[in-house]
Every structure is written in structure tokens, then in C-alpha cells.
Amino acid sequence: MDLILFGAPGAGKGTQGALLAARYGLQRLSTGDLLRDALGRGTPLGFEAKKFMDAGELVPDDVILGLVREVMESSDAAGFIFDGFPRTVAQADGLAALMERLGRSLDAVVVLDVDDETLVQRLAGRLSCPSCQAVYSQFAEPPQVPGKCDACGASLVQREDDRPDTVRRRLAVYREQTAPLIRHYRALPAPVHVIDGARPVDAVQMELRTLLEQ
Ligand code: AP5
């Protein structure tokens, strides 16, 4: 199964994608995580990407497509959950060409629909692990020990790009450059499902599972 999880910053793509990946034995491919990992390892690509990420802008398509190609070509996963990718028509076209070459096809596109006020609140309360990339919420999903990652014990941080002015820019970029892709996918064979992502994590996850098991 190959699935695109689509949605604005804070819509819950990472949260839901991780749960689906664990449930169905799929590989979650988050371009945001790949970029943060490159930055954490101090690679030139990571430093280059940081300029765009801190400004809330998209990292250039060729960089993103190169990262995705590397992961997909070296993986033996039964399926991928694409999280935060593609974000432009060029990326969607690049993914289609790559999938064709690898003999894969897209099964579904799921859009997590969440209002802006909820998105801003969620991002203000998000805590991230800089070491293993686990995600928590000060409100909805707090860590067991305040400020510490349940999975690896590292100190949790607020992401640089979760500051209010950067969040506003990320939301605008999503509306301008990424949301139009929903129409692009509606013209293609894989079904596009829009679900209400503003409900509690478990309710959203149950609907996703029901959809995917149909
Ligand atoms: P990326 O890391 O992909 O960020 P994003 O798409 O903006 O998405 P987020 O990670 O902010 O949110 P999410 O939807 O995963 O929500 P989460 O589950 O964490 O990208 C960062 C940057 O990298 C981009 O701005 C860009 O610069 C660059 N980039 C990445 N991919 C790129 C690409 N393809 N092309 C070009 N540039 C790219 O949840 C958020 C919070 O809400 C958490 O605290 C969580 O616990 C909580 N939460 C989740 N679900 C619920 C719920 N149902 N109820 C209550 N709280 C919830």
C-alpha cells in the first residue's frame, strides 16, 4: 500500500502516519524528518535546507526529490506513507515517475482537514525530540516525564519553525503552493479522501483505518 498523507502544518500527518506505519508495517517517509536528520548530522544539505525551513519556505524540489529517491531505492518496505511530500506539482510529477520506475502505484491520498485556529494552537504546544524525532503535545499527548522523550530520554524542544511568525508563513505557503495539489490528485486514478482531522487522535486514526481497510 502506498499512501499520501496530505494536510497543513500541524494537521497531524506525522502523528497519524506513525500510528498507521506501526499498525500496517509500512514505512513512513517524512521529508521534514529527512531534512531535520540531515541537519542533525551536520551535512551540507541539512545546512542549506535550514535556511528555507527557518523561513517557513519550501526546500527546492530537486533536493527533496533526491532525498526521496535515495530512500525509496534502498528500501524493501511493503509500502510507503508519504508525509509532507509531495508539496508541489513538480514533486508530484517526480514521485509519479519514480513510482513507475520502481513498479509501484499510489493507492490513496488522504487529506487531514483542520481549521487554522486549531493548527496554530497545536503547533504552539508541540514538543519534538531532536534525537529520535518523536512528537508530543503539551495539551493532547504530553510525555510521561515533563520535557523528556518517552522513547529515548532526550530533552524535548520546540521546533525553530513553530514560532508564531514562521507558522503563519508555513500556513500561507501550504495554501498557495501545496493545497492546489489536491485538485491535481483528484484528476488521477487513486481516490482522494478528505477527513476531519480536528478530532482527537484516536478518532482520526479509527477513520483512517476504516478507510484503508475498505
Ligand atoms: P514538516 O516537518 O513536514 O512540517 P509540516 O508539513 O509543516 O508538518 P508538521 O510536522 O508541522 O505537522 P504534522 O501535520 O506532521 O503534525 P504533527 O503530527 O506533528 O516540514 C518542515 C519544513 O521542511 C517545511 O516548512 C519545509 O521548509 C521543509 N519541507 C518538508 N518537506 C518538504 C517538501 N516536500 N518540499 C519542500 N520543503 C519541505 O502534530 C502537530 C502537533 O499537534 C503535535 O504536538 C501533536 O501531538 C498534536 N496533534 C496531532 N494530532 C492531534 C489531534 N488529533 N488532536 C490534538 N493534537 C494533535
| pLDDT per position as a tens digit, 116-128 | 999 999 999 999 9
Residue nearest to atom 17 of ligand 1 (CA): 12
Query: What CA dihedral angle connects 45, 48, 54 and 57, to 10 degrees?
Result: -100
Output the pLDDT for position 133.
86
Output the pLDDT for position 49.
95
Q: From the CA of 200, give the closest atom in ligand 1.
A: 53
Number of H helices, E strands in the chain: 9, 7
The answer to whether the CB of 14 is under 6 A from ligand 1 is yes
Q: From the CA of 112, give the closest atom in ligand 1.
A: 14
The answer to whether the CB of 204 is under 6 A from ligand 1 is yes
Instruction: Summarize pLDDT for 4-17 with one digit per residue, the tens.
Output: 999 999 999 999 99
CA of 213 to the centre of ligand 1 (A): 25
The answer to whether the CB of 87 is under 6 A from ligand 1 is yes
Burial 131-169 (b: 16+ CB within 10 A, else e): eebbbbbeeebebeeeebbeeeeeebeebebbeeebbee
pTM: 0.96
Whole-number percent of the chain with pLDDT over 70: 100
Long-range pairs for 14-23: beta carbons < 8 A, 24 or more residues apart:
14/83, 14/84, 14/135, 15/135, 15/141, 15/201, 16/112, 16/197, 16/201, 16/204, 16/205, 16/208, 17/81, 17/83, 18/135, 19/201, 19/205, 20/81, 20/205, 20/208, 20/209, 20/212, 21/81, 23/209
12/5 Cα distance (integer angstroms): 9
Radius of gyration of the chain (CA): 16
Question: Is the pLDDT at 115 greater than 90, yes or no?
Answer: yes
The answer to whether the CB of 147 is under 6 A from ligand 1 is no
Question: What's the pLDDT band for 104 if we cut at 50, 70, 90?
Answer: very high
Question: Is the pLDDT at 198 greater than 90, yes or no?
Answer: yes
Domains of the chain: 2-115+164-213 (3.40.50.300)
CA of 157 to the centre of ligand 1 (A): 15
Question: What's the pLDDT band for 24 if we cut at 50, 70, 90?
Answer: very high
Peptide bond into 9 cis (omega under 30): no
CA of 51 to the centre of ligand 1 (A): 17
The answer to whether the CB of 9 is under 6 A from ligand 1 is yes
Long-range pairs for 95-100: beta carbons < 8 A, 24 or more residues apart:
95/65, 95/68, 98/65, 98/68, 98/69, 98/72, 99/2
How many angstroms separate the Cα of 171 from the Cα of each of 39, 55, 58, 166, 176? Answer: 23, 12, 11, 9, 9
CA of 37 to the centre of ligand 1 (A): 15
Instruction: Summarize pLDDT for 129-145 with one digit per residue, the tens.
Output: 988 889 999 988 899 99
Active site residues: 13, 87, 126, 159, 170
